Amino acid sequence: MACLHDHSCEDHDCSSDWSLYKHIDLDKVSALNEATTGTVKSVFKAWEHRLNTSGEHLESNEGDPELLVFIPFTSDVKIKSISIVGGADGTSPSKMRAFINRDGIDFSDAQSMQAIQEWDLAENMQGVLEYQTRYSKFQSVGNITLHFPDNFGGDTTKIHYIGLKGEATQLKRDVVATIVYELMPNPSDHKTRAETGGGFSHVE
């Protein structure tokens, strides 16, 4: 089995590269248009199990190949490339569009919004293809939404594995924890070092 890397897989352990799945907040992963609720969580697994089609997989509803997968992370990550293993007989997705750090995207949003990057996918039955990202745009990803608008002609779209390669930083996105809103701000409440001896104190 050939890898896209320029070495053979036996020498180098690929699975350690594809370990971003450990940083996924699995409880909050959700998908739209999945046939059975909750099956989306089964596509995030270790590299070794990517070809394991016996367990659960993500499948769209009958007659509707669109899928939308929302993936939040437990900390900010940098994503270098993405790998998708689809189903056989035309049920593999043919296009992928990604949105970064947007909550609550649904199909109408996905169709109207400009994606941060789009890829044309090939049928990747062996799980050897990876799709590189424009790394500069994927530097601090708190959550990513993947939209699969179409497939290779099958009735439904099946996805067995979504792999993410990259690095995890230990930081969380800047969530402003405490903001104090003042209804009637009074500059004298905010005395700074330069307050005594006249002059304007500027509130920072």
Partner 1 sequence: MVLEATMICIDNSEWMRNGDYSPSRFQAQADAVNLICGAKTQSNPENTVGVLIMAGKGVRVLVTPTSDLGKILACMHGLEVGGEMNLAAGIQVAQLALKHRQNKKQQQRIIVFAGSPVKHEKKMLEMIGRKLKKNSVALDIVNFGEDDEEKTEKLESLLAAVNNNDTSHIVHVPAGPNALSDVLISTPIFTGDGEGGSGFAAAAAAAAAGGVSGYDFGVDPNLDPELALALRVSMEEERARQEAAAKKAAEDTSKQGGEQQAGSQEASSQDATMTERASASTSEAENKTTDLMDDENALLQQALAMSMDEPAVGHDVKDTDMSEASVDDPELALALQLSVADSTKDQASQSEVLADQSAVSDILASLPGVDLNDPSIKDLLASMQNKSELQKKNDDKSSNEEKK
Indicate whether 197 belongs to the interface with partner 1 (CB under 8 A): no
- Closest CB to partner 1 among residues 64, 195: 64
- Using the rule CB under 8 A, give the single segment among 3-11, 13-21, 61-69, 195-203 that binds partner 1: 61-69
Among 15, 19, 53, 61, binds partner 1 (CB under 8 A): 61
Indicate whether 66 belongs to the interface with partner 1 (CB under 8 A): yes
DSSP structural state of residue 69:
E
Nearest to 150 by CA among 177, 121, 125: 121
In the region spanning residues 119 to 178, those forming contacts with partner 1, defined by CB under 8 A, are none
Among 10, 11, 103, 120, binds partner 1 (CB under 8 A): 103
Distance CA 72, CA 102 (A): 10
- Using the rule CB under 8 A, give the single segment among 86-94, 106-114, 133-141, 163-171 that binds partner 1: 106-114
Indicate whether 114 belongs to the interface with partner 1 (CB under 8 A): no
**Phi, psi dihedral angles at 14 (to 5 degrees):** -65, -25
Sort 161 into a burial class: Cβ within 10 Å, 0-12 / 13-18 / 19+.
buried
Long-range contacts of 36-41 (CB under 8 A, 24+ apart): 40/69
- Closest CB to partner 1 among residues 66, 123: 66
Residue for token pair 């799709």: 131
Number of amino acids touching partner 1 (CB under 8 A): 12
Among 33, 81, 143, 145, binds partner 1 (CB under 8 A): 33
Residue partners of 19: CB distance under 8 A and separation at least 6: 46, 47
Residues contributing to the site for partner 1 (CB under 8 A): 32-33, 36-37, 61, 64, 66, 103-104, 106-108
